[in-house]
Amino acid sequence: MIFFIFVQKYYDYIIIGAGASGLMLANALGTDPYFKDKTVLLIDKDAKKTNDRTWCFWEKNEGDFDTIIAKSWSQIDFYSKDYGVNHKIAPYKYKMLRGLDFYNNFLDKIQSYENITFLQDMVTGVVDHNNYVDVTTQSEGFRATRVFNSIFNYKLLHQQTKYPVLQQHFIGWFIKSDKPIFNPENATFMDFSIPQKANTRFMYVLPFSETEGLVEYTLFSAETLDEQEYEDAIKKYIKENLKSIDYEIVEKEKGNIPMTCYNFSAKNSENILHIGVAGGWAKASTGYTFMNTNRKTKELVAFLKKDKPLSSFSHKDRYWYYDLLLLDILYKDNSKGRRIFESLFRGSSPQLIFKFLDEETNIREDLKIISSCPKSFFIKALFNRLF
* Closest among 218, 182, 171 to 71, alpha carbons compared: 182
Query: ∠ at Cα 17 (213, 280), nearest 5°?
Result: 75
Nearer to ligand FAD, 150 or 285 (CB): 150
* CB 224, min distance to ligand FAD, A: 13
| One-letter amino acid for residue 79 of the chain | Y
- State how far the Cα of 132 lies from the Cα of 256, in Å rounded to an integer: 33
- State how far the Cα of 344 lies from the Cα of 363, in Å rounded to an integer: 17
* CB 123, min distance to ligand FAD, A: 4
- State how far the Cα of 167 lies from the Cα of 218, in Å rounded to an integer: 10
Burial annotation 307-345 (CB, 10 A radius, 16+ → b, else e): eeebeebbeeeebeebbbbbbbbbbeebebbbbbbbbbb
Interface contacts to ligand FAD, rule CB under 6 A: 16-22, 43-46, 53, 55-57, 122-123, 150-151, 253, 255, 257, 276-278, 288-290
- State how far the Cα of 140 lies from the Cα of 131, in Å rounded to an integer: 20
By Cβ distance, which residue is nearest to ligand FAD? 19
**How long a stretch of residues is the chain?**
387
* CB 167, min distance to ligand FAD, A: 11
Name beta bridge partners: 255.
Answer: 170
How many helices (H) and strands (E) the chain has is answered by 10, 17
Nearer to ligand FAD, 45 or 60 (CB): 45
What is the rounded radius of gyration, in angstroms, for the C-alpha atoms of the chain? Answer: 22
Nearer to ligand FAD, 18 or 284 (CB): 18
Nearer to ligand FAD, 177 or 293 (CB): 293
Nearer to ligand FAD, 259 or 381 (CB): 259
* CB 218, min distance to ligand FAD, A: 10
Query: Which residues, at least 6 apart from 115, have a Cβ–Cβ distance to it below 8 Å?
Result: 30, 35, 36, 37, 38, 39, 40
Alpha-carbon distances of 109 from 96, 100, 113, rounded to whole Å: 20, 14, 7
Nearer to ligand FAD, 43 or 166 (CB): 43
* CB 128, min distance to ligand FAD, A: 17
- State how far the Cα of 115 lies from the Cα of 117, in Å rounded to an integer: 7
Contact 272, 133 (CB under 8 A): yes
Q: How many other CB atoms are there within 10 angstroms of residue 252's CB atom?
A: 16
Nearer to ligand FAD, 166 or 278 (CB): 278
* CB 5, min distance to ligand FAD, A: 28
- State how far the Cα of 177 lies from the Cα of 175, in Å rounded to an integer: 6
Nearer to ligand FAD, 28 or 370 (CB): 28
- State how far the Cα of 277 lies from the Cα of 151, in Å rounded to an integer: 8
Nearer to ligand FAD, 44 or 191 (CB): 44
Nearer to ligand FAD, 20 or 369 (CB): 20
* CB 293, min distance to ligand FAD, A: 6
